[in-house]
Structures are given as C-alpha cells and as structure tokens.
Structure 1
Amino acid sequence: MSQDIFQLLRAEVVSQLQQILPELPADSFARVLVEPPRDPSHGDMATNAALVVAKLAKMPPPKLAAELAGRLAASELVAEATPAGPGFVNIRLPEAVIRAQVPAVLAAGEGYGDSTLGGKRKIDVEYVSANPTGPMHVGHCRGAVVGDALANLLLKSGYNVTKEYYVNDAGAQVQALAWAAYWRYLQALGTKLSDEEFEALVPGGLQYRGEYLIPVGEAIKAAHGDALAPGALPADPALWLAEVRRVTIESMMAAIREDLALLGVEQDVFVSEAALVQAGVADRAIADLAAKGLVYEGVLEPPKGKTPDDWEPRPQTLFRSTQFGDDVDRPLRKSDGSNTYFANDIGNHADKIARGHVELVQVWGADHGGYVSRMKAATAALSDSAVPLDVVLCQIVKVMKNGEPVRMSKRAGTFVTLRDLLDEVGRDAVRFTMLTRKADAQMEFDLDKVVEQSRDNPVFYVQYAHARCRSVLRAAGEPGVETLAATALDALRDPAELGLIRRIMSWPRTVEQAAQAREPHRIAFYLGDLAADFHLLWNRGRDDTTLRFIREDDPAATAARLALVAATATVIRSGLRVMGVTPVEEMR
C-alpha cells in the first residue's frame, strides 16, 4: 500500500479518466486533484477531475463526473463514489483501506511521509543571515526557526538541501562595529581616553555600545597586546582597522554559532559577503548581466511622494530590473564607484547558482519586503529564469510576561537576546511556539503560556499526546514494531479510531503541501489536530471501557489499538523532527 493514499487515489482517478477519454494526451490531467472535501460528511476525499477535463473532453462536467464515479465505485480502493455539484466526485474509502495505513506507518517508521517531490534537486535555504554586529535576538530567532524547519521539511520532501548563513561582513555597519570593538579594546588596556574623546575620533560616532563587545575587546588585547594602542599605530585607520574588524567578526560569529547551536540550528555553509566582494563575484555577475544587455547608464526618476532635499538627478549604473517585474530599475554603483548593497547581493545569488542550486529559498525579516521584487528580478536575470527564488517574510515577535512586554536585556542594551529566551523557557518550547503562526503574521510570545500545562498551550498538548502514547506502550511491555505491524486490525471500528487513522494518513500530503507552500507552520497545525484526535480517543476510553487501549478480556482489540497508538506516536515524532523539537517520553 502506498504511503500516500491521496496520491494512490489520484492515480486511480487519472487511470479511469484515460479509459473514458483515450484520445486526450497525458498532460490533460495535470490539474486533477484528490483532496479532503470541505465538508467531512461528504466523504474521505473529493476530486475536481471532471471539472478540469470536461472542456477538453467536450462533455458537460456533471455527465463526466457521473461516468467517472461509476467507474471508481468498482475499484477496490473505493467504497462509494458520488457525483456532486457542478462536477465534483466525492469518495468514501473502505474501512480496510483506512486501517491498512497503520501497518504502512509502522513499516516506514519516522520516514513515513518522506516524499520524492523534490527529486533530489539542489535547493539552497538561506536564513538568519544576521549582521554580525550584536548577539542574536528574538527577531533573529523566529527567522532561524522558520528557516531551519523549512529546510527540514524540504529535506523530508526529497530535496538536496543546503542550509546557508550569509554573513553580512562588508560595508559601513561592520566598519562601525570595528570602531566600537576598538573602543572596548582601549578600555581593556586601561586607556585614559574618555568615551566622549574617543567618539569624537570615530567617523560617524560610536554606534555600538552593548556590553557584549567587552569580551571582544579582551580578545583583541589577548591577540595583539598593546600593539594596537594609539601611540603605536599609523595615523591612517585603513592600515590597521582591518585587523580589528577581522578579530571582531570572528568573535561575533563564534557567539552567533553558539546561540544557534543552543537553538538546535546547525547550518551547512557560512558564506562571507566580504570574501565574495574580494573575489570579484559581484563584478563578474554584473559583467554577465551587461553582456545580456541588462545594465546601462541612466538617470532614475525622483522617489515617489516627497522628494528628499538632498536628491539630485545624476547618471548611474542601473540594472534593468523592470524587465523582470520590478517597478523601477535599480542602481548597481554608488557615487564613489563602489558596489551598492544590491550589487553585492547579486553576487551572493550568482554564487548560489554557480554552486549548482536550481532553487533558492530565503527567510527575511518583514522590513525587507520591499526588497523582494528586485532580488527576484536579479535571480531571474542571472539564471535566464531557470532558478526560482522564494522569499519567506517573518514578522516581528513581541515577548510578553505577566501581560506586559519583557524588559530589554542588560547585556545587549537594546533588545531581548535569543539566549535570554532560551534560558527562560527552553529550546523545544521556543521552536514549537515560533511555528504556531504563519511567518508573516505578527506574534506575541507569551512566556507564561508556553510553559502552561493546558490544552491552550500547543507545545504541551502535542507533547502530552506523545507521552500518553508512550505510557500505553510501556504498560503493554513495549511490543515490537514488527509484531504490531502484523496485527489484525478489524477491531478498529469506532468512529474515533477511524478518525485518528484518517488524520494519520493525511501526513504525507501535509508534508508535500507545506513544502510546496514554504509554510512549516502547517506542521504545527497538523500535529495539534493529530493530538486532539488522540486525546479524544483517550477520553472516550475513560467513558467507555470497551474502547480502552489495553483490555485483558480482548487480546485482539488490545493488539489492534496498540498498533494504532504506536503509529500515532511515530507520526508525532516524524512531525516534531521536522520542527526540530524533541518528543518527550513522559510529562513532568
């Protein structure tokens, strides 16, 4: 029996259509769907086949639906097929087919739901990519969890996944960070230079004052002693600040990696923007675009709305992004001739394509929403529209406790750090909670709710379902999977039992749909529904002793229900693995 009963039924539907309409080519059936009906009372599945094929077949959809329903009713996979509405067919499955999903789960283990959707295509998932100018904070946390879960989801869906962190270690922000680290270095040396005197020497002033840079200053002192003290240095900072910047970035990235590891995020590749710039990747990419006629010298229109006082029309090197759906063409060079941030980003995407990735996914903060169209345009231009770019935007997270916003971290100075959050509630609660809402929806992370042991807390509710499953199996002496997989399941007749199996058998379809939509929060929703179905069955057994999982007077029913419990626990673990959450054996 196929793991994905929906795909199996779709194949049956297409097969019957091909027999009804042998003159139609195979691609005529590409839009045929088999999915759960909106109203569960209509059956287990419904298909739109007659609706999408009728025009090509030159038949009225209801007539084609009726003929298709008649043929499907004769299939061993179908108990009942009924034409409905303007051309749908509702399908009910035989109970034997539904029950057969239980041994399919037990045979596959946590691999149940694994898909060939991705076809081993190379896909790059870039997420977090925070500027190395401070500790990881709550905003980074949401993007890290969403990106990591999405990468896991794509891996389960059959893609060859690269988890990537793009290090923004070039530009003015990193230069400002180096000056701030140098300030902490001078403090470590015991310099008498006041903060105000030092800030007067810094181009643009001192921007980063968080205490997290104190260890960086100590690291610079440990590496160089007093060799970088003001009296020992050339007057031109360009001759020595690069070394301060290098040590600072190394220190900051080491701290970021530690924080990510605590969150359960381990990326495969860390790509340096500065290294790509130094290697000329962006310049070569721009030259390639120029060779395609997509780069020109021109003057942009003034910004829409109120024109800034310092705006003036001037010739610029521009990318023809409007040819790929953007609203304006985009500058590639600054007035001093250096690359714009966008130009360096073009180099980043050219590098991903050069490494053989045929699909790109990136997780950004919602404040970068205006950047999506230009980056999609650039990727399309670089790849001749062969490599799609999907961008997942993450909205801000507001941390709450006792109904009030949480105070800022003293160590960071301006925000709640990721480590603060992990110390407060733990990794699993953080990861699960971050996936309980769609990424582009704003979120309140309530520190009280995520540790509350109630049905209103989805983290607890799902973990409790797994713990209950494990307690039943321990009480039964931990029967082996092979034994359970070979168990007769005829005793599973109650609507709550069959409903739980129906939920289980929708797991492979959920995986594929979530992967295609780039929406890992669907996994959290699914697990919540699965847990609810299991808790319902558990509670039914408390009210009706004939439905208890373990019955000494009915070994056949006990064995069948233990198989169902084991399958439920397996699917919960499979889903939690995608989310990066560790299932619990018992609740404490």
Structure 2
Amino acid sequence: MNLFADIKALVLDSLAQMQAAGTLPADLDFANVTVEPPRDALHGDMATNAAMVLAKIAKKNPREIADALAEILRRDDRVQSADVAGPGFLNLRLENTVWASVIPAALAAGADFGRSKMGANKRVNVEYVSANPTGPLHVGHTRGAVFGDALASLLDFAGYDVTREYYINDGGAQVDVLARSVYLRYLEANGQEVSFADGTYPGDYLIAVGEAVKEKYGDTLVGQPESEWLAELRQFSTDAMMDMIREDLAQLGVKMDHFYSEKSLYGTGRIEAAIKALDDKGLIYEGTLDPPKGKLPEDWEAREQTLFKSTAHGDDVDRPVKKSDGSWTYFAPDIAYHYDKVERGFDLLIDVFGADHGGYVKRMKAAVSALSDGAVPLDIKLTQLVKLFKNGEPFKMSKRAGTFITLRDLVDQVGPDVTRFVMLTRKNDAPLDFDFDKVMEQSKDNPVFYVQYAHARINSVYGKARDAGIDLDSAIKGADISTLTHTSELAVMKKVGEWPRLLELAAKHNEPHRVAFYLYELASDFHSLWNAGKDVHELRFLQDDNADATASKLALISSVKVTLAAGLQILGVTPIDEMR
C-alpha cells in the first residue's frame, strides 16, 4: 500500500479529465509530475508540482492550472482539502480515515510492509568491497561493505533480483608482493631473522600464514630462488587472505553470493574477447595520448598504445588497454570483468568503490555503455573516508594490520549493529566521523540507540499489556483506528504511511542512507507521542478504563514496530526488544 502512489494516480487521472474537457492540451507529458510530502508539514499532507511543470508546455498560467486541478481533486472522498500556494503549487490534506487505513495494511504485511514490485524482478549485480586480497579489511572497506550490503537488501526489498558480488583482485603485482611477504614470515617461522623491505606487508596477520606454509612445506623452500615458490605462494597466500576476508565480512553480517577472480580472466581468452567486442564496434585503435594535465611537454614521452575510444561513450579522454610492450593495462581486465557481467544477462550493474577510485568512474561507464550498446546502465557509488574519534580526539586502535585499523577491531569495539547503522547515517559520498563516545551513548543524539530504543519501548508496552491480561492479537485485530485523532497520533500514523514511498525512492536512487534517516524520524515521532502521554492521559497507550482506545493505540504502535523492523532488516541491523 503506497498512499503517495495512489494520490499521484488520482492527480494524473484528474489531469486526464482536464484534457478531456479541453482545459489542458491533449499532447502533454506527465513524466515530471510528482506527489510528495510538502517542505512544511503545516501546509498539508502531500504536494504536487503538476501545475508548475505543465504550465510552459500547456502555455497556461500555472495558477490557472492549479485552481482547475484543485477543484477536481476536492471531489474525491479521500481529499479533505486542496489549496493552491504561491505561483501554483498545490497542497493536499487527506481525510484521517485514509491515513488510518495504513495501519491494518502494515500489520497485515508484517516484516514485508513496504515491499515493492518496482524492480519487476530485473537482475541487478551489486559489486562491493572487492578489496585487494593482501590483508584484513580496514575501516574504509567497512563503509563500502555496509553500504553495498544495505543497498543490495534495499533493492531486493524493492523487487529486484539481486546478486551480491566480490571481485578478487588477484591478478596484479600486489599479489606477488603478498607472496614475498608471506615467504619472509615463512623464513621467520623457520627460525631466520628477516626484515621487511619497503613495499612488503609487515602486518602481524601474516605470521599465521607463514607458519601454515611451514606446516605444509617444512624447510624445503628455505633458500630456494623465487621462481621455485612464487606461483605456489601466490595461490596459497591469496586463499588464506580470502578466508580472512570472508571471516571479517561474516563479523559484519555480510555474505556474498559470488566471488569472481580477476586471475580467471588471464590466459583464458576473456580479456581478448572483451577487447575484440569493442574492436568490432570500431572502438579500438592504435594511437598516442596527450600529456596528462599538469605535465610539461618535455616530461612526457608519447608512446603508441592500443586505445579504447571511450570518448565516444562520454569519457573525457580515450583510455589505453594495452601498453607499448604488449602487456594489458589495469583497465583491460576490468573491461573484461564487466563484459562478463553484461554477458551474464544483468539488467543493471552497480559498483561500490572507495573515494580514491573517482577517476575510474567515467571510463568504466563508457566501457559498459559500449559493451552493452547502452542497454545496461552502470551506477558507480563512491564511499568517502571514515575518521575515527574518541574523547574528541582522532583515535587509533591496534595496528595488527601493520598500517591500518581493521574492520574486526571496529566491530569488536562497538558490535556489528552499531557499526552498520552508523555507517549509513551519512550519504555514501559524504565524509563520515565515527565517534566512539557518541555511538555508545544513550541519547537522542545517537541515532542507532534512538531507533532501537523505540523498538524496545514498544516491546515494553506489550509486556505491560500482557500483564494487564490483554490478548494482544485479538485487541489489535479488532482495533478501530479512526478513533486516533490527536495531532501526535496522526503524526506517527502519517510517518508510517510514508514508508512505502520512501522505500521506492531510496531504491530508485540507490541510496540506503535514506532508510536510516527515515527510521530516525519515525522513532522521533514515536518518542514524542510517548512523552506526550506523560502529560495527557488520553494519549497513554494503555487506557485502564477504555479497552477500545487501548486496542487502537496498540495497533498504532504495532505498525511502528513493524516498520522499524522492516527498515532495520534492510540495513542489516537486529531490532532490540529490551535495552540493557
């Protein structure tokens, strides 16, 4: 049940009536007509921009269109008032009974309240984390993992067929460095003193891997040339790191559907096939590039390379796919990987990258556009940096990883639920300050506590109701919601009614942070109602002398609990029944 969609349908039908009556021309495009909450709740329940967006193409004054539209809308039983504001905005107020109808719908749907068919079962590949398999995940990866996982759940809830995917970057030189670092730990396990040169990985997490190599090979690799052990230790080390990464993700409640190896693209003809697909479209050529911006001509040596004409698909410059020495660039396997996604039949691709990949966005979009002939959209979401604070100061935890703070350190400090929720309290492309003191305090300023507290408070009301001998199921099912008319009760009811629209809006824009924001607002409205009951007896949830009023209020807060649970489920956060 989506009241905003219902009222939008009413607006569009009313506009069609105006066309039939000749008030509006027949050839109008209503695609930009919206129905949404007004900026100021005092103006009404919903607002439509119909008159504003149609005025120019209809060659009419927007106020004239708004007045005629308002007259038609007022005839509908659901509309209490329709008022024109400013140059032509139209504010609508619905009958309370319309909002009341949301409550039984929410209760009937339960955990599926707000679930949508908007996605029409389209296949979506969400690739996230995809960290180099050279060590444990760090705080930056944590944000990408939470964002990607919540986005995948959001899209699933909105009716898409979602695949969660991790791209293992195991084909590059960094894995050789990993193997050499593990070999040093292996030598150490065999009693030798070692030193880690610049570029190797000195983290303690490789000690256990070195010992595992010793357990498998004994001392047979000691003193052997690199050619004898590099390939073997590359695979051994990568497997060990991926096991560690899977454990890290499990700590956060993240489980991938598919792990895709970059290494599988090499020597299998897949890169060649992807480049040939572009070549067949006339998008591969031999040429030279202009100097990078900021480089003086004398600092630049032009070399002929194999280039992808990415500018034909919206990029700023063409991109090399093969170096002058004949080896592939880093971009080439990424093209092949996304070609594989296109070939697997996905309708939409989403990549979640760290902030340092901003320069990769246009070239990757150009490649997917070219490979799919524009049929498969690619949305790339960048997650900005996370700064940790404690006692108002930048905070550094253990350096088990050698140079960075790990995901596991963070989760051990505050738990997976707090970690996940806080990571979604800012839009993905905005920097995030993670303050350990604030995320653990029990106050309105801590959004995760505030939302969880609302869920727990409702559960406590249930306990008191049971103690009073109330059969919750029977009371809620027989509740007359129309008796809830106080401003505070209506505010909660209307906020619950916004959930289906908010869900679809968040999914449309691939923005799961909207869910976190909404849950905080819903919790705030609920807490306000709770506090109002301290002063106004009629607003208390349990009315000793009025079973019918108690039933309606229990139904109202039950719809809040259902909505909170649905939203927290999307965020991957477990609702709390009792605060401790």
Give the TM-score normalised by the residue count of structure 2: 0.96
Question: 2:286 is paired with a residue of what secondary structure?
Answer: strand
Q: C-alpha separation between the residues in 1 aligned to 2:115 and 2:182?
A: 47
Which of 346, 364, 385 is the matching residue for 1:357?
346
1:57 Cα offset (Å): 3.9
Relative to structure 1, is the Cα distance of residues 527 and 26 closer, same or farther in structure 2, using a 3 angstrom cutoff?
A: farther
Relative to structure 1, is the Cα distance of residues 309 and 365 closer, same or farther in structure 2, using a 3 angstrom cutoff?
A: farther
Give the structure 2 partner of residue 41 of structure 1: 42
Give the structure 1 partner of residue 138 of structure 2: 137
Give the structure 2 partner of residue 119 of structure 1: 120
Contact 2:28 2:57 in 1 (8 A): no
Output the amino acid matched with 1:553.
D
1:490 Cα offset (Å): 2.4
Question: 1:38 is paired with a residue of what secondary structure?
Answer: coil
Q: C-alpha separation between the residues in 2 aligned to 1:335 and 1:101?
A: 64
> 1:56-113 CA deviation, whole Å, 9 max, x = no partner?
4443322221111111111122111122322222111001111111111101112111
Give the structure 2 partner of residue 411 of structure 1: 400
Q: How many residues align?
A: 574
Give the structure 2 partner of residue 94 of structure 1: 95
Which of 542, 545, 554 is the matching residue for 1:562?
554
Q: C-alpha separation between the residues in 2 aligned to 1:301 and 1:468?
A: 64
Give the structure 1 partner of residue 369 of structure 2: 380
Q: C-alpha separation between the residues in 1 aligned to 2:364 and 2:80?
A: 50
Contact 1:124 1:357 in 2 (8 A): yes
Give the TM-score normalised by the residue count of structure 1: 0.94
Relative to structure 1, is the Cα distance of residues 369 and 481 closer, same or farther in structure 2, using a 3 angstrom cutoff?
A: farther
Give the structure 1 partner of residue 389 of structure 2: 400
Give the structure 2 partner of residue 202 of structure 1: none
> 1:361-419 CA deviation, whole Å, 9 max, x = no partner?
11111111111111111111111111111111111111111222222523111111111
> 1:15-52 CA deviation, whole Å, 9 max, x = no partner?
11112213866872222111111121111011112222
Structure 1 residue 342 and structure 2 residue 341: aligned?
Answer: no
Higher deviation after alignment, 481-490 or 424-433:
481-490
1:483 Cα offset (Å): 4.8
Give the structure 2 partner of residue 16 of structure 1: 14
Equivalent runs, 1:451-490 vs 2, <5 Å = 451-477=440-466, 479-481=471-473, 483-490=475-482
Output the amino acid matched with 2:9.
A
Give the structure 2 partner of residue 80 of structure 1: 81
Relative to structure 1, is the Cα distance of residues 122 and 484 closer, same or farther in structure 2, using a 3 angstrom cutoff?
A: same
Output the amino acid matched with 1:289.
L
Q: C-alpha separation between the residues in 2 aligned to 1:84 and 1:169?
A: 60
Question: 1:46 is paired with a residue of what secondary structure?
Answer: strand
Output the amino acid matched with 1:207.
T
Higher deviation after alignment, 271-280 or 135-144:
271-280
Give the structure 1 partner of residue 281 of structure 2: 292
1:354 Cα offset (Å): 1.0
Give the structure 1 partner of residue 185 of structure 2: 184
Give the structure 2 partner of residue 219 of structure 1: 212
Which of 259, 276, 292 is the matching residue for 2:248?
259
Higher deviation after alignment, 494-503 or 106-115:
106-115
Give the structure 1 partner of residue 305 of structure 2: 316
Give the structure 2 partner of residue 510 of structure 1: 502
1:301 Cα offset (Å): 0.6
Q: C-alpha separation between the residues in 1 aligned to 2:152 and 2:298?
A: 45
Structure 1 residue 450 and structure 2 residue 450: aligned?
Answer: no
Higher deviation after alignment, 245-254 or 392-401:
392-401
Q: C-alpha separation between the residues in 2 aligned to 1:238 and 1:573?
A: 56
Question: 1:471 is paired with a residue of what secondary structure?
Answer: helix
Which of 529, 532, 535 is the matching residue for 2:524?
532
Contact 1:136 1:259 in 2 (8 A): yes
Equivalent runs, 1:412-431 vs 2, <5 Å = 412-431=401-420
Contact 1:21 1:57 in 2 (8 A): no
Contact 1:318 1:330 in 2 (8 A): yes
Q: C-alpha separation between the residues in 2 aligned to 1:36 and 1:431?
A: 28
Q: C-alpha separation between the residues in 2 aligned to 1:540 and 1:309?
A: 74
RMSD (Å) for aligned C-alpha atoms: 1.7
Q: C-alpha separation between the residues in 2 aligned to 1:408 and 1:90?
A: 52
Output the amino acid matched with 1:444.
D
Q: C-alpha separation between the residues in 2 aligned to 1:533 and 1:545?
A: 18
Equivalent runs, 1:226-305 vs 2, <5 Å = 226-230=219-223, 233=224, 235=225, 237-305=226-294
Relative to structure 1, is the Cα distance of residues 165 and 482 closer, same or farther in structure 2, using a 3 angstrom cutoff?
A: farther
Contact 2:131 2:168 in 1 (8 A): yes
> 1:281-322 CA deviation, whole Å, 9 max, x = no partner?
222111110110101000101111134976311101001111
Structure 1 residue 195 and structure 2 residue 194: aligned?
Answer: yes
Higher deviation after alignment, 575-584 or 406-415:
406-415
> 1:109-136 CA deviation, whole Å, 9 max, x = no partner?
1211111221111011111000011111
Contact 1:150 1:520 in 2 (8 A): yes
Relative to structure 1, is the Cα distance of residues 227 and 291 closer, same or farther in structure 2, using a 3 angstrom cutoff?
A: same
Output the amino acid matched with 1:52.
V
> 1:166-208 CA deviation, whole Å, 9 max, x = no partner?
1100111111111101111121222x4x425x85xxxxx5511
Output the amino acid matched with 1:7.
A
Contact 2:382 2:428 in 1 (8 A): yes
Q: C-alpha separation between the residues in 1 aligned to 2:356 and 2:462?
A: 48
Q: C-alpha separation between the residues in 2 aligned to 1:238 and 1:474?
A: 69
Q: C-alpha separation between the residues in 2 aligned to 1:27 and 1:289?
A: 40
Q: C-alpha separation between the residues in 2 aligned to 1:549 and 1:476?
A: 9
Higher deviation after alignment, 79-88 or 549-558:
79-88
Contact 1:438 1:521 in 2 (8 A): yes
Relative to structure 1, is the Cα distance of residues 485 and 15 closer, same or farther in structure 2, using a 3 angstrom cutoff?
A: farther
Question: 1:28 is paired with a residue of what secondary structure?
Answer: coil
Relative to structure 1, is the Cα distance of residues 154 and 41 closer, same or farther in structure 2, using a 3 angstrom cutoff?
A: same
1:156 Cα offset (Å): 0.8
1:239 Cα offset (Å): 4.8
Contact 1:163 1:269 in 2 (8 A): yes
Contact 2:99 2:494 in 1 (8 A): yes
Question: 2:483 is paired with a residue of what secondary structure?
Answer: coil
Relative to structure 1, is the Cα distance of residues 289 and 479 closer, same or farther in structure 2, using a 3 angstrom cutoff?
A: farther
1:55 Cα offset (Å): 4.0
Q: C-alpha separation between the residues in 2 aligned to 1:456 and 1:554?
A: 36
1:446 Cα offset (Å): 0.8
Which of 569, 574, 579 is the matching residue for 1:577?
569
Q: C-alpha separation between the residues in 2 aligned to 1:30 and 1:340?
A: 43
Higher deviation after alignment, 310-319 or 370-379:
310-319
Q: C-alpha separation between the residues in 1 aligned to 2:513 and 2:416?
A: 17
Contact 2:133 2:241 in 1 (8 A): yes
Q: C-alpha separation between the residues in 1 aligned to 2:69 and 2:477?
A: 34
Q: C-alpha separation between the residues in 1 aligned to 2:68 and 2:263?
A: 64
Q: C-alpha separation between the residues in 2 aligned to 1:158 and 1:448?
A: 38
Output the amino acid matched with 2:123.
K
Q: C-alpha separation between the residues in 2 aligned to 1:481 and 1:169?
A: 55
Query: Gaps spanning 5+ residues in structure 2: where?
Result: none
Question: 1:240 is paired with a residue of what secondary structure?
Answer: helix
Query: Gaps spanning 5+ residues in structure 1: where?
Result: 200-204
Q: C-alpha separation between the residues in 2 aligned to 1:432 and 1:398?
A: 16
Contact 1:105 1:570 in 2 (8 A): yes
Output the amino acid matched with 1:555.
A
Contact 1:66 1:83 in 2 (8 A): yes
Output the amino acid matched with 1:19.
Q
Q: C-alpha separation between the residues in 1 aligned to 2:297 and 2:576?
A: 57
Contact 1:179 1:206 in 2 (8 A): no
1:249 Cα offset (Å): 0.4
Question: 1:89 is paired with a residue of what secondary structure?
Answer: strand
> 1:122-172 CA deviation, whole Å, 9 max, x = no partner?
011111000011111111101100111111111111111111111100111
Output the amino acid matched with 1:9.
I
1:14 Cα offset (Å): 0.8
